Structure 1
C-alpha cells in the first residue's frame, strides 16, 4: 500500500511539474480562478485586500486544521490515550476571543485605507455624467458640451439566431466612453427610469445609477486600451443587452477625439434647420429604429402581442404626425414607452418618425423634419 501511494504521489508530482512549465497556460488559468487585478489604483487596492484576506484565511485554516489533524493522530485511542474530562479552560477561552479580535484589528487598517481610496473622488481633472436608460447609457462630458448615447451594437439577427454570433457578441457598443490616460476622471451616475449599475471590473468601478439621486466614482489609469463591463443590476427584459465599453486613450489622442466631438456637435446644430430628403430620413431612421426601438416593437414592426404594440398600421404611425412626434418626445405615461427627448437628437427623432410612417407598408408619405421636433420641444 505504501509503495502504491508513493508511486501515485510521484505521478502527481510529475504532472504538476510538467504543467508548471507551460507558463502562459498557467497564467491564464490563474487569472480565470483569481480576482481580476485591474488597471487602476482602486482596482489594485481591491485586489491587494482580496489577496491579504485570502492568505490570512489560508494561514488560519492551515493552523486550525493542522492542529486538529495532529491531535487526532497523536492522541488517538489506538495508542491508548485517554481523553481529558473538563468543562472549561480560561486560557483557551481568552485565546479564541483575543486572537480573532487582534486579527480583525490588524486587517482593519489596510481595509479602511482601501475604502478611503475608493470613495475619494476629490481633485478630479474631468467630470463625466453617466445616465442609465432602459437599455442604454448616456455620457455627458460636463463643461465640454459633448453628450451622446451608447447602445448595443450587436444586431437583432445575431441575438435571435438568424445569423452567426460575432466575436464580440453582446460586448460591443456603437459609441464607447472615451477617457484620457493618466487623468483622474470622476463619474457622476444617475438613472432615468429604474435602478441600473455601472460596472467595469478592470477600472474597479461598480456604482448604482439611481433615478433622482447622484452617486460618484472615479478612475485613473496609465494603461491605454479597451475595457468592457455591463449593467450589474437587473433592470428589465433587455438587461443583458446594455454593455459598457470604455476606451482609454493617450492624452493627445483624447484631446483630438474631444475636439472632433465638439466639431460634430457644432455641425449637428447647423443641420437642425436643414430640409432633409425622404431618402436621407429613411436611411437614418432605419438605423435609429433598429438600435432603439426594435427590441420592443420588433425588427418587422409587429411588436409583441399583449406586451408591446405593433408599428404596422397603428393609430400612432397612421395618425397625425404631430401626435407621433409627441409620443417620441414625451413618451406615454403609464406604459413602457419612455420619453426619448433626452436620448435622441432632433434629427434622429425626425428620422425614426419618418421611417415608422413609411416602412412595412405603412406608406403614409409624409415626413418629419428636425425643426419640427425642435419646435415641438419648445411648445411651438
Structure 2
C-alpha cells in the first residue's frame, strides 16, 4: 500500500518526457518558485504581444507601398520617459517577491535535522549529522543502480526501456541507496564536493545547490507528502556526469525513525552500501 502511494506521488511530482513547463514540486519553496515563474512568464507574454503587435502594425500599415511618408520629428520626451519608467516598475514589481523568496530559501534556522551531502566523481555521499539534536552515525554512498549501469555499458544489447521502477521508466534515474527523509521535518543540507564542482538538484524540491570543493553551501527542504523524488547532478563534472542520479525517498516520520534506528544499530552490516565510518578514505 505504502509503495503504491510512493509510486503515484513520484509519477505526479517528477518531470516527465516532453514536459514543457516547470514541475510545481512538493515543497512550499518549489510551489513559490513555480508561481513566480508563471507570473514572469505571463508578464513576458504580454510584453511580447504588445511589442511585436506594435511592430507588425507599423510594418504593414505604414509601409511605403501604401504611400506612408516618414515623419520628420526626432523624438518624444513623454514616450521616452514612459518606456523607461514602465520597465523599471515592472522589474521592481517582479524583484520584490523574488528577493523575499530567495531570503526564505537561504534561511536554514530552526532546522530539525542536518544532512551533509558530498559530491564525488561520480556518486554522492550522505552523512546524517543530527536528528532533533541527537547525533546520527548514518553515512553511506549512493551510486547509479546496477541494472542501469549494466545497460549503459557499450555492447550490452539491453533495451534501456526495460529498466523500470514499477511502471516508472527509471533508466539512469535510480540509485542503489536513496536519501531517506522524514515527512513534515525541516531538513538542513550542507553541500560540498571532494574533487570537482558538482550540483545537487532535485526539481521537485524547488532548488539546486552547487557542491564545490573546499566550500560549504547550505539549503533546506520540508516535504509534507511521502513520495520518491528524482534529480541529477546539474554541473558538468566529467565523463560520467550523466550517470550520477539523485533519489530522495520521503517516508512518514515514524517509518523514518524506524529506518534510522536500523541503520544506526550495531547489528547493521557495515558495508560500502550501509554505514561507512567517517574516517574512511574520501573518493
Give TM class, smaller chain: 0.7 to 0.9
Q: Deviations over 1:24-71 (max 9, x none)?
A: xxxx99981112211112211221121111111111111122223334
1:162 corresponds in structure 2 to 156
Are 1:151 and 1:174, in contact at CA under 8 Å, matched by a contact in 2? yes
Are 1:138 and 1:343, in contact at CA under 8 Å, matched by a contact in 2? no
Distance 2:264 2:280 in 1: 20
Local SS of the residue matching 1:33: coil
Distance 1:163 1:52 in 2: 46
* TM-score (structure 2 length as normaliser): 0.80
Are 1:154 and 1:169, in contact at CA under 8 Å, matched by a contact in 2? no
1:92 corresponds in structure 2 to 79
Are 1:149 and 1:343, in contact at CA under 8 Å, matched by a contact in 2? no
Distance 2:85 2:74 in 1: 20
Do the aligned partners of residues 195 and 40 (structure 1) sit closer, same or farther apart at CA in structure 2, a change above 3 Å counting?
A: same
Local SS of the residue matching 2:19: helix
1:144 corresponds in structure 2 to 136
1:123 aligns with 2:123: no
Distance 2:96 2:237 in 1: 36
Whose strand fraction is larger, Structure 1's or Structure 2's? Answer: 2
Q: Select the structure with the greater relative contact order (CA < 8 A; seq sep ≥ 6).
A: 2
Q: CA RMSD in A?
A: 2.6
Per-residue deviation, 1:79: 4.9
1:52 aligns with 2:39: yes
Local SS of the residue matching 1:226: strand
Find 1:64's aligned residue among 42, 47, 51: 51
Find 2:174's aligned residue among 172, 175, 191: 172
Per-residue deviation, 1:128: 0.5
Per-residue deviation, 1:83: 2.7
Number of residue pairs aligned between Structure 1 and Structure 2: 250
1:213 corresponds in structure 2 to 215
Distance 1:194 1:69 in 2: 50
Gapped runs of 5+ residues in structure 2? 1-14, 130-134, 165-169, 274-278
The structure that has the greater radius of gyration is: 1
Do the aligned partners of residues 258 and 93 (structure 1) sit closer, same or farther apart at CA in structure 2, a change above 3 Å counting?
A: same
Are 1:49 and 1:114, in contact at CA under 8 Å, matched by a contact in 2? no
Distance 2:16 2:123 in 1: 33
Whose helix fraction is larger, Structure 1's or Structure 2's? Answer: 1
Gapped runs of 5+ residues in structure 1? 1-27, 273-283, 292-339, 345-380
Q: Deviations over 1:295-332 (max 9, x none)?
A: xxxxxxxxxxxxxxxxxxxxxxxxxxxxxxxxxxxxxx
Distance 2:123 2:173 in 1: 13
